[in-house]
Chains A and B, each alone.
Chain A
Amino acid sequence: MNILSAMEYRVTFFLQVIGMFINDIALILIWVIFFAQFPMINGWTLQDSILLMSMVTFIFGIVHVFSGGSRELAKTITQGELDYYLTYPKNVLWHVSISRTDISALGDMLFGLVLFCFSGNISLEKIFLFLTISLFVAFILFNFLTITQSLSFFFGNFEDAAEALYQSMMGFSLYPQTSFYGFLKVIMMTVLPAFFIVTIPVNIIKTFDLLSFLLLLGFALVTFLLAVLVFYKGLQKYESGNLINLKM
Chain B
Amino acid sequence: MTSHTLSFFSWKKKRDKYLEIVKVQSKNTTTYVVNLFSRSLVILLRIWVFTQLYTVTYRVAGATRIDDFTLPMLIWTLMITQSFQNSTRPYVARIIEEEVKTGSLAYTLNRPYSYLLFHYAGFLGRILPSLLTNILVGIGVCLILVGPITFTLSGLAGGTVLLILGYLIEFSLMLSIGLLSFWVEDVSAFVWIYTKGQLVLGGVLLPLTLFPDYLRKITEMLPFAAVFYTPAKLMVSFQPETFWYYLTIQLFWVLLSILTAVFLYRKGIKHVSINGG
Q: Is A114 an interface residue (CB 8 A)?
A: no
**Assuming A16-B188, A157-B32, is B49 touching A180 (CB within 8 A)?**
yes
From 10 to 41 in chain B, residues with beta carbon under 8 angstroms from any chain A beta carbon are: 32, 34-36, 38-39, 41
- Max chain B CB contacts within 10 Å: which of A9, A161, A182? A161
Given A20-B189, A22-B192; A167-B200 close (CB under 8 Å): no
Per-residue B-contact encoding for A182-194, CB less than 8 Å = 1, 0 else:
1010010000100
Q: In the complex, are the beta carbons of A168 and B41 less than 8 A apart? A: yes
The residue that B210 contacts in the complex, of A37, A157, A174, A184, with Cβ under 8 A, is A37
Any B CB within 8 A of the CB of A118 = no
Question: Cβ of B277 < 8 Å from any Cβ of A?
Answer: no
Partner of A171, one of B42, B60, B211: B42
Residues of B within 8 A of A192 (CB): 45
> Which residues of chain A have C-beta atoms less than 8 A from B35's C-beta?
157-161
Contact among A41, A174, A187 with B56 in the assembled complex (CB-CB below 8 Å): A41
A94 at the interface (CB under 8 A from B): no
How far apart are A247's CB and chain B's nearest CB, in angstroms? Answer: 16
A18 with B189, Cβ < 8 A, contacts A29-B200, A38-B57 known: yes
In the complex, are the beta carbons of B185 and A19 less than 8 A apart?
Answer: no
**A184 vs B52: C-alpha distance in the bound complex, in angstroms?**
9
Q: Taking A171-B46, A171-B49, A184-B48 as contacts, is the C-beta distance between A16 and B186 under 8 angstroms?
A: yes
A210 within 8 A of B: no
On chain A, the residues within 8 Å of B215 by CB distance are 33
Q: Does A23 contact B (CB under 8 A)?
A: yes
Please measure, in the bound complex, the distance between the C-alpha atom of A159 and the C-alpha atom of B34, giving whole angstroms: 10
Q: Does B193 contact A (CB under 8 A)?
A: yes
Q: Distance in Å from the Cβ of A122 to the closest Cβ of chain B?
A: 27
Residue of B nearest to A176 (CB): B53
> Are A160 and B206 within 8 A (Cβ)?
no
Chain A interface mostly: helix
Q: How far is the CB of A193 from chain B (nearest CB, A)?
A: 14
Known: A12-B184, A41-B53, A175-B49. A164 touches B212 (CB 8 A): no
B190 at the interface (CB under 8 A from A): yes
| A155 close to chain B: CB less than 8 A | yes
* Interfacial chain B residues near A7, Cβ < 8 Å: none
With A104-B188, A164-B41 as contacts: A19 and B193 at CB distance below 8 Å: yes
Convert B123-149 into 0s and 1s, putting 1 for each residue whose CB lies closer than 8 angstroms to a CB of A: 000000000000000000000000000
Give Cα distance in the complex from A38 to B13, angstroms: 57
Distance in angstroms from A23 CB to nearest chain B CB is 4
Complex contacts, B210 vs chain A, CB 8 Å: 34, 37-38
- Which chain B residues lie closer than 8 Å to A36 at the CB level? 212
Asked, given contacts A11-B184, A155-B34, A168-B45, whether A175 binds B53 with beta carbons under 8 Å apart, the answer is yes
B interface size (C-beta, 8 A): 36
A16 touching B32 in the complex, CB below 8 Å, given contacts A160-B39, A179-B53: no
Contact A41/B193 with A12-B186, A164-B42 known, Cβ cut-off 8 Å: no
Contact (Cβ within 8 A) B190 A19: yes
Q: With a CB–CB cut-off of 8 A, which chain A residues contact B42?
A: 164, 167-168, 171
Query: How distant is the Cα of A66 from the Cα of B140 in the complex, in angstroms?
Result: 40
- Complex Cα spacing A127 to B206, Å: 31
B121 CB to nearest chain A CB (Å): 21
- Chain A residues contacting B185 (CB-CB under 8 Å) are 9, 12
Task: For A34, list chain B residues within 8 Å (CB).
Answer: 206, 210
Residue of chain A at shortest CB distance from B198: A26
Q: Are A160 and B52 neighbours in the complex by a CB distance under 8 Å?
A: no
> Which residue in A30, A37, A165 is a CB contact (below 8 Å) of B200?
A30
A-B CB contact pairs (8 Å), 26 listed? A9-B185, A11-B184, A12-B184, A15-B189, A16-B189, A19-B192, A19-B193, A20-B192, A26-B193, A26-B199, A29-B200, A30-B199, A33-B215, A36-B212, A38-B210, A104-B189, A158-B35, A160-B32, A160-B39, A161-B41, A164-B42, A168-B41, A172-B49, A175-B53, A184-B48, A184-B52
Binding site for B on A (CB under 8 A): 9, 11-12, 15-16, 18-20, 22-23, 26-27, 29-30, 33-34, 36-38, 40-42, 104, 155-161, 163-165, 167-168, 171-172, 174-176, 179-182, 184, 187, 192
Pairs of residues from A and B, 7 with the lowest C-beta to C-beta distance, nearest first? A19-B189, A160-B35, A26-B196, A161-B38, A164-B38, A23-B192, A15-B189
Given A22-B189, A157-B34, output 10 extra A-B contacts at Cβ < 8 Å: A9-B185, A19-B189, A33-B211, A33-B212, A38-B61, A40-B60, A104-B192, A164-B39, A164-B42, A184-B48
